[in-house]
Chain A
Amino acid sequence: MKQIDFDPVFSAAIRSELDARVTAPTARISLRRRHLRLGAGIFAGASILIGGAAAAAGLLTMPGAQEVTELGVSVVETATGTAAVQLGAVPDGATGILVSLTCLTPGTFSFDDGASIGCDMDDVGQPTGGGSYTLNFSPEQQFITITTAPESSWTIAATYVSERTTEWAINANGETYGALNESGEPNLIAVTATNGNGGFVHAGELAHANGSEQAATFTSPEQALAWQDSMAGKTVSVPVYQNDGETRVGEFTIQY
């Protein structure tokens, strides 16, 4: 009987793809979604406001949120496979390029800085089938490149923007409050409660509930896995307050 062997070239390609997926799981999640994964749990029916996301949602009044000003019009382009999109001259004051990518087919779509958005068959045509991302850029750069497999199709809308992170506010008790941003977390973190009310959770209470406090003490993957197992199926709630940190307006739930 003739021996059939696994095609060595195909095998090597599969092997390196597996390696890439296992080693860099966050590379397939857009920046916004990655930030939302603070702990091991899922925020059930509630969400944390992140600087950039809060700005995108039009909540410009939230302290600590990023104020994003679009400079000029969006360039919209659709392509299949790897392609560069010309954006034209860089306006004064631009600090980044706001890119919103929609997957038209499954695939992995990488930006110039290596960040990428992955879509599978189930994502195409759904809200999960794409993402927004602000690229840092060098002043002379007038185009962005999306790298993907030859048969993967995508649409992007790209706009030069200037971004400025606003300061957190301080309440009567001297606590800072506002959205999470690149400088870290305020004492009171802006969230949307399960009842839909906007409000704030105490950073310490959230860290305890979402596991980041415990995670800081783990010294091995086994400990992390054991902790995850011990939490499986549990639901943890933290109270949501107004910006005074005292008046309850709802609760924030984390499901393991």
Chain B
Amino acid sequence: MDTGVVNEVEVWTRACANDGRAFTSLFDTHRDRVFRHVLRLVDNAHDAEEVTSASFFELWRRRASVILVSDSVLPWLLVTAGNIARNVSRGTRRYRALFDSLQRADATADAEQIAVDHFEDDESLGYLKAAMKMLKPVDASLVILVVLEDYAVTEAATLLGLSAGAARTRLHRAKGKMRQQLTEART
């Protein structure tokens, strides 16, 4: 990329034509954003790394049906990672043998502990996780995209195969349910 301007549609097209460098550049670009997102939804950093990685493997495996939103694969990755995070062991099962065979920098570090230290700073995250699990997958995806990641409702609707009106209604109800859940958890 000499120009410094990266057109992701072009990169995605090249990746789909078996250009490994194009695909890994998508990984480089979006890894941290997806990782930060998943950290809010799972219990520890190891799980977040595996969910993030699995979402990129899924991006490749399901490339024929990936929908770009705002000319980017990021929304698809966020939604897919969110769905995998709902049931980490099931969502990463396809890649379990691979993940277990790969080296880590600190194999001995207690990832769970790191995660607890991190999350105690913000107890509402725990409620958020619980509330997200309570929602139907489509509604959870809507909350992820619109509330947490600031995409427009119409963009989220495109990705999830909903009409804009249906997406607004579902989002409104989902927010209501989450608000109720958070209130109950605090009292």
Q: Contact between B14 and A9 (Cβ–Cβ < 8 Å)?
A: no
Chain B positions 109 through 153: 1 when the CB is less than 8 Å from some CB of chain A, otherwise 0: 000001101100110000000000000000000000000000000
User: B21 within 8 Å of A by Cβ?
Assistant: yes
Min distance, Cβ A124 to any Cβ of chain B, angstroms:
11
Interface-centre pick from B56, B98, B106 (highest chain A CB count, 10 A) = B98
Docked-complex contact A13 and B21, CB < 8 angstroms: no
Interface size on B, residues (CB 8 A): 44
Q: Which of B27-35, B75-83, B173-181 forms contacts with chain A?
A: B27-35
- Are A15 and B117 in contact (CB-based, < 8 A)? no
Residue A23 CB within 8 A of the other chain:
yes
Q: Whole-angstrom distance between the alpha carbons of A65 and B114 in the complex?
A: 62
Q: Which of A18, A23, A149 has the most CB of B within 10 A?
A: A18
Determine whether the beta carbon of B103 is less than 8 Å from that of A10.
yes
Report whether B101 and A222 are in contact in the complex, using a CB–CB cutoff of 8 Å.
no
B170 to chain A, nearest CB (A): 29
Question: Is A105 part of the contact surface with B, judged by Cβ < 8 Å?
Answer: yes
A4 contacts which of B20, B39, B100, B103 (Cβ < 8 Å)?
Answer: B39
Query: Which of A1, A150, A152 is the one whose CB lies under 8 Å from B122?
Result: A1
Q: In this complex, which of A4, A13, A21, A105 has the most chain B Cβ atoms within 10 angstroms of its Cβ?
A: A4
Query: What sequence of 0s and 1s flags, for each residue 213-237 of chain A, a beta carbon within 8 Å of any chain B beta carbon?
Result: 0000000011011000000000000
CB distance from A176 to the nearest CB of B (A): 33
Which chain B residues border A11 with CB–CB below 8 Å? 31, 49
Docked complex Cα distance between A149 and B98 (Å): 8
Closest 3 CB pairs of A and B: A23-B20, A221-B17, A19-B20
Q: Could you name 29 residue pairs across A and B whose Cβ atoms are closer than 8 Å? A: A4-B114, A4-B118, A6-B31, A7-B105, A7-B106, A8-B105, A10-B102, A10-B105, A11-B31, A13-B102, A15-B27, A18-B56, A19-B20, A19-B21, A21-B57, A22-B18, A22-B19, A22-B23, A22-B24, A22-B60, A23-B20, A25-B18, A106-B94, A107-B97, A149-B97, A149-B98, A221-B14, A222-B13, A224-B17
B interface with A by C-beta (< 8 Å): 13-24, 27-28, 31-32, 35, 39, 45, 48-49, 52-53, 56-57, 60, 93-94, 96-98, 100-106, 114-115, 117-118, 121-122
